[in-house]
A and B are shown apart, each in its own frame.
Chain A
Amino acid sequence: MMISMRAAAMAAVSAFGLSLAAPVASAQNLTMAVGAQVTSLDPHYHALSPNLAVATMLFDTLTAFDAEARVEPGLAESWRVVEPTVWEFKLRPGVKFHNGNAFTAEDVAFTIARVPTVPNSPSSYAIYTRAIERVEIVDPLTVRLHTRTPYPVLPNDLGQVAILDKETHEGASTEDFNSGKVAVGTGPFRYVNFRSGDRLELERNDAYWGDKPHWAKVSYRILPNDASRTAALLAGDVDFIDQVPTSDLASLRRSDKVHLAEKDGLRIIFLALDHQHPEGSPQIADAEGKPLGKNPLHDLRVRRALSIAIDRPAIASRVMEGTSMPSGQFLPPTAFGAIPDLAAPKTDPDAAKKLLAEAGYPNGFRITLSGPNDRYMNDARIVQAIGQMWTRIGVRTQVDAQPWTTFIGRAGRQELSAFLVGWGSSSGEASNPLRSLVAGFDRDKGFGTSNRGRYSNPEVDAKLEAALRELDDTKREALLRDATRLAMEDVAIIPIHIQKNLWAMRPTLRHDSRADELTRAQDVRPAPAQPAAR
Chain B
Amino acid sequence: MAVYLLRRLLQSALVMLAMSVIVFIGVYAIGDPVEILISPDADQMERERAIKALGLDLPLWQQYLSFLANALRGDLGRSFVFNEPALQLILQRMPATLELAFGAMFIALLIGLPLGLYAGLKPHSAGAKVVMAGSILGFSLPTFWVGLMLIMVFAVQLGWLPSTGRGPTVEVLGLRWSFLTWDGLRHLAMPALNLALFKISLVIRLTRAGVRETMLMDYVKFARAKGLSPARVTYVHVFKNILIPVVTVVGLELGSTIAFSVVTESVFAWPGMGKLIIDSINVLDRPVIVAYLMIIVLMFITINLLVDLAYSALDPRVRLENK
A residues sitting closer than 8 Å to B (CB atoms) are: 17, 20-22, 37, 39-40, 42, 45-48, 119-124, 126-128, 174-175, 178, 195-199, 221-225, 227-228, 231-232, 234-237, 374, 403-406, 408-409, 412, 423-424, 426, 432, 436, 443, 446, 449-450
Task: Tell me whether B269 and A122 are in contact (CB under 8 A).
Answer: no
Shortest CB distance B178–A (Å): 11
Task: Given A196-B82, A436-B41, A449-B42, output 19 extra A-B contacts at Cβ < 8 Å.
Answer: A21-B156, A39-B82, A40-B81, A46-B81, A119-B83, A122-B34, A123-B38, A123-B39, A123-B46, A223-B165, A224-B279, A225-B266, A227-B148, A228-B151, A231-B155, A234-B163, A237-B163, A409-B35, A450-B40
Shortest CB distance A240–B (Å): 14
Instruction: Report the Cα distance A447→B41, complex, angstroms.
Output: 10
Task: Tell me whether A449 and B284 are in contact (CB under 8 A).
Answer: no
Contact with A along B166-185 (1 / 0, CB 8 A): 10000000000000000000
Instruction: Report the Cα distance A83→B43, complex, angstroms.
Output: 26
Task: Tell me whether A409 and B49 are in contact (CB under 8 A).
Answer: no
Contacts A224-B266, A228-B267; A122 near B54 (Cβ below 8 A): yes
Instruction: Report the Cα distance A195→B269, complex, angstroms.
Output: 13
Task: Tell me whether A120 and B271 are in contact (CB under 8 A).
Answer: no
Contact with A along B256-298 (1 / 0, CB 8 A): 0000000000111101000110010111100000000000000
Task: Tell me whether B41 and A432 are in contact (CB under 8 A).
Answer: yes
Instruction: Report the Cα distance A447→B271, complex, angstroms.
Output: 40
Contacts A231-B164, A232-B164, A446-B45; A174 near B267 (Cβ below 8 A): no
Chain A residues near B156: list those with CB within 8 A. Answer: 21, 231, 234-235
Contacts A124-B46, A408-B31; A39 near B39 (Cβ below 8 A): no
Chain A residues near B49: list those with CB within 8 A. Answer: 124, 126
User: In chain A, what residue has the closest Cβ to B40?
Assistant: A450
User: In chain B, what residue has the closest Cβ to A232?
Assistant: B163
User: In chain A, what residue has the closest Cβ to B36?
Assistant: A405
Chain B residues near A120: list those with CB within 8 A. Answer: 53-54, 78, 80, 83
Chain A residues near B39: list those with CB within 8 A. Answer: 47-48, 123, 127
Task: Tell me whether A21 and B159 are in contact (CB under 8 A).
Answer: yes
Contacts A231-B148, A231-B155; A237 near B36 (Cβ below 8 A): no
Task: Tell me whether B159 and A197 are in contact (CB under 8 A).
Answer: no
State which of A121, A237, A405, A408 has its C-beta within 8 Å of the C-beta of B164.
A237
Chain B residues near A404: list those with CB within 8 A. Answer: 36, 282
Contacts A197-B271, A231-B156, A237-B155; A122 near B50 (Cβ below 8 A): yes
Number of interface residues of B (CB under 8 A): 54
Chain B residues near A237: list those with CB within 8 A. Answer: 155, 162-165
Chain B residues near A123: list those with CB within 8 A. Answer: 37-39, 42, 46, 50
B84 at the interface (CB under 8 A from A): yes
Instruction: Report the Cα distance A120→B86, complex, angstroms.
Output: 14
Q: Which of A128, A227, A374 has the most CB of B within 10 A?
A: A227
Instruction: Report the Cα distance A408→B33, complex, angstroms.
Output: 10
B93 at the interface (CB under 8 A from A): yes
Task: Tell me whether B81 and A225 are in contact (CB under 8 A).
Answer: no
Contacts A45-B83, A120-B78; A405 near B30 (Cβ below 8 A): yes
User: In chain A, what residue has the closest Cβ to B162?
Assistant: A237
Chain B residues near A236: list those with CB within 8 A. Answer: 159
Chain A residues near B81: list those with CB within 8 A. Answer: 39-40, 46, 122
B152 at the interface (CB under 8 A from A): yes
Shortest CB distance A484–B (Å): 18
B47 at the interface (CB under 8 A from A): yes
Shortest CB distance A17–B (Å): 8
Chain B residues near A443: list those with CB within 8 A. Answer: 43-45
Instruction: Report the Cα distance A518→B5, complex, angstroms.
Output: 56
B57 at the interface (CB under 8 A from A): no
Instruction: Report the Cα distance A523→B82, complex, angstroms.
Output: 27
Instruction: Report the Cα distance A126→B82, complex, angstroms.
Output: 18
Instruction: Report the Cα distance A199→B148, complex, angstroms.
Output: 21
Chain A residues near B54: list those with CB within 8 A. Answer: 120, 122
Task: Tell me whether B83 and A228 are in contact (CB under 8 A).
Answer: no
Task: Tell me whether A121 and B50 are in contact (CB under 8 A).
Answer: yes
Chain A residues near B213: list those with CB within 8 A. Answer: none
Shortest CB distance A309–B (Å): 28
Chain B residues near A196: list those with CB within 8 A. Answer: 82, 89, 92
Among all A-B residue pairs, the 7 with the closest Cβ atoms: A446-B43, A21-B159, A47-B39, A409-B31, A235-B155, A122-B37, A198-B271
Task: Tell me whether A408 and B35 are in contact (CB under 8 A).
Answer: yes
Task: Tell me whether A449 and B151 are in contact (CB under 8 A).
Answer: no
Instruction: Report the Cα distance A423→B41, complex, angstroms.
Output: 10
Q: List 30 A-B pairs, Cβ < 8 Å.
A: A17-B159, A40-B81, A47-B38, A120-B80, A122-B54, A123-B38, A126-B49, A128-B41, A175-B83, A178-B82, A178-B84, A195-B271, A196-B82, A197-B276, A221-B165, A221-B269, A222-B269, A231-B163, A232-B155, A232-B163, A232-B164, A235-B155, A235-B156, A236-B159, A403-B282, A405-B282, A408-B36, A409-B30, A426-B40, A443-B43
Chain B residues near A199: list those with CB within 8 A. Answer: 165
Chain A residues near B45: list those with CB within 8 A. Answer: 443, 446
B residues 56-105 in Cβ contact with A at 8 Å: 78, 80-84, 89, 92-93
User: In chain A, what residue has the closest Cβ to B29?
Assistant: A406
Instruction: Report the Cα distance A199→B37, complex, angstroms.
Output: 21
Task: Tell me whether B36 and A174 are in contact (CB under 8 A).
Answer: no
Contacts A174-B83, A228-B268; A446 near B35 (Cβ below 8 A): no
Shortest CB distance A48–B (Å): 6
Chain B residues near A225: list those with CB within 8 A. Answer: 266-267, 269
Instruction: Report the Cα distance A17→B157, complex, angstroms.
Output: 9
Chain B residues near A128: list those with CB within 8 A. Answer: 41
User: In chain A, what residue has the closest Cβ to B275?
Assistant: A197
Chain A residues near B315: list those with CB within 8 A. Answer: none
Task: Tell me whether A231 and B83 are in contact (CB under 8 A).
Answer: no
State which of B40, B82, B83 has its C-beta within 8 Å of the C-beta of A424.
B40
Chain A residues near B43: list those with CB within 8 A. Answer: 127, 443, 446, 449
Instruction: Report the Cα distance A221→B164, complex, angstroms.
Output: 10
Instruction: Report the Cα distance A119→B80, complex, angstroms.
Output: 11
Task: Tell me whether B30 and A406 are in contact (CB under 8 A).
Answer: yes
Chain B residues near A450: list those with CB within 8 A. Answer: 40
Contact with A along B120-134 (1 / 0, CB 8 A): 000000000000000
Shortest CB distance B195–A (Å): 15
Instruction: Report the Cα distance A42→B80, complex, angstroms.
Output: 14
Task: Tell me whether B41 and A426 are in contact (CB under 8 A).
Answer: yes
User: In chain A, what residue has the closest Cβ to B265?
Assistant: A225
Shortest CB distance B140–A (Å): 21
Chain B residues near A48: list those with CB within 8 A. Answer: 39
Chain A residues near B155: list those with CB within 8 A. Answer: 231-232, 235, 237
Chain A residues near B30: list those with CB within 8 A. Answer: 405-406, 409
Chain A residues near B151: list those with CB within 8 A. Answer: 228, 231, 235
Chain B residues near A39: list those with CB within 8 A. Answer: 81-82
Contacts A119-B53, A408-B35; A40 near B82 (Cβ below 8 A): yes
Q: Which of A47, A174, A237, A412 has the most CB of B within 10 A?
A: A237
Chain A residues near B32: list those with CB within 8 A. Answer: 409, 412
Contacts A120-B53, A221-B269; A423 near B40 (Cβ below 8 A): yes
User: In chain A, what residue has the closest Cβ to B166?
Assistant: A198
Task: Tell me whether B44 and A446 are in contact (CB under 8 A).
Answer: yes
Chain B residues near A446: list those with CB within 8 A. Answer: 43-45
State which of B80, B267, B268, B281 has its C-beta within 8 Å of the C-beta of A122.
B80
